[in-house]
């Protein structure tokens, strides 16, 4: 039985991943900003990078060992660049990039010792092709992609794989609340498959990537986006 630490596990993609892995027999420790009365969960704001070590220690205390890390927590910001300030920029960098880096650092030591590990970073198609009015978000997710490739090379000899999933538009409450009917139709019109990705699709890809069947797959940025990254 493998032990999993996943951030942002209370809703959307993160919740789908948590449920899928638990159904498959994995032991999962989650985190999020919601208050939940669960032993296998920590309520923490990971835009405060001091909480990264607290999360790692709590997860290790509960699980005994962390075999799999899934960096899912992140925040999207839609804003013209002239409205961006230092505080907003630092918050996104902390949550979308620095905290994932720190968690990778903490778990890598144990994974090396055990000669096994799986790390999955949840990026975004915006970090691959760019997105107007989402420059800081896109930049942090692009940075995560670079981290993924570099860590895959660094850790490969220890039977540790590091991969990234870059979802496009995903069918979540957050997406539905952000788009009105007309905006949703316009968005669907530019997606080759004319649909949004379902959270379960990301979850099942995660389940494959952490399995033995995927042991030769590392350093990859996988675009799960219904064709959005291919262009018109």
pLDDT digits (tens, 9 = 90+) for 108-166: 999 999 999 999 999 999 999 998 999 999 999 999 999 999 999 999 999 999 999 99
Segment holding 69, helix H or strand E: strand 68-71
Q: How many domains does the chain have?
A: 1
Phi, psi of 67, rounded to the nearest 5 degrees: -90, -30
185, part of any domain: no
Q: Looking at residues 157-186, what average pLDDT do you find? A: 88
98 within some domain? yes
The pLDDT tens digits of the residues spanning 62-76 come to: 999 999 999 999 998
Answer whether residue 182 is part of any domain: no
Domain enclosing residue 206, as ranges:
3-172+199-224
pLDDT at 232 over 60: no
The active-site residue, picked from 26, 41, 106, 137, is 137
Q: What is the CATH number of the domain that holds 32?
A: 3.40.50.720
CA distances from 68 to 6, 121, 197, 227 (A): 8, 11, 24, 28
Residue 192 lies in a domain: no
Looking at the domain assignment, is residue 193 inside a domain? no
Q: CA-based angle 79:82:85, to the nearest 5?
A: 80
Q: What is the mean pLDDT of residues 190-206?
A: 95
Confidence of residue 175 (pLDDT cuts 50, 70, 90): confident
pLDDT for 231: 67
Give the chain's mean pLDDT.
95
Q: How confident is the model at residue 51 (pLDDT cuts 50, 70, 90)?
A: very high
Active site residue 41: no
- The confidence score (pLDDT) of residue 176 equals 74
Q: Does some domain include residue 96?
A: yes
- 32 or 183, which is more confident: 32
Q: Per-residue pLDDT averaged across 191-214, rounded?
A: 96
Decide if 194 is inside a domain: no
Q: Is residue 136 domain-resident?
A: yes
Q: Which SS3 state, helix, strand or coil, does residue 141 take?
A: helix
* The pLDDT value given to residue 184: 85
């Amino acid at each position: 039985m493998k032990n999993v630490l996943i951030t942002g596990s209370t809703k959307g993609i993160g919740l789908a991943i948590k449920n899928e892995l638990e159904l498959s027999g994995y032991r999962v420790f989650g985190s999020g900003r919601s208050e939940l009365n669960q032993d296998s969960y920590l309520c923490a704001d990971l835009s405060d990078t001091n909480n990264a070590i607290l999360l790692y220690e709590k997860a290790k205390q509960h699980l005994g060992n962390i075999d799999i890390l899934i960096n899912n927590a992140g925040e999207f910001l839609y804003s013209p660049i002239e409205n961006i300030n230092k505080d907003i920029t630092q918050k996104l960098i902390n949550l979308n990039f620095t905290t994932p880096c720190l968690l990778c650092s903490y778990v890598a030591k144990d994974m090396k010792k055990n000669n096994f590990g799986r790390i999955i970073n949840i990026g975004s198609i915006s970090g691959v092709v760019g997105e107007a009015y989402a420059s800081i978000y896109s930049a942090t997710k692009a940075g995560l992609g670079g981290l993924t490739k570099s860590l895959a090379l660094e850790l490969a000899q220890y039977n540790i794989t590091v991969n990234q999933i870059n979802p496009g538009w995903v069918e979540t409450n957050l997406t539905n609340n952000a788009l009105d009917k007309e905006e949703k139709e316009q968005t669907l019109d530019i997606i080759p498959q004319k649909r949004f990705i379902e959270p379960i699709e990301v979850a099942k890809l995660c389940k494959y990537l952490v399995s033995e069947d995927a042991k030769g797959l590392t350093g990859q940025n996988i675009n799960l986006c219904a064709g959005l990254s291919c262009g018109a």
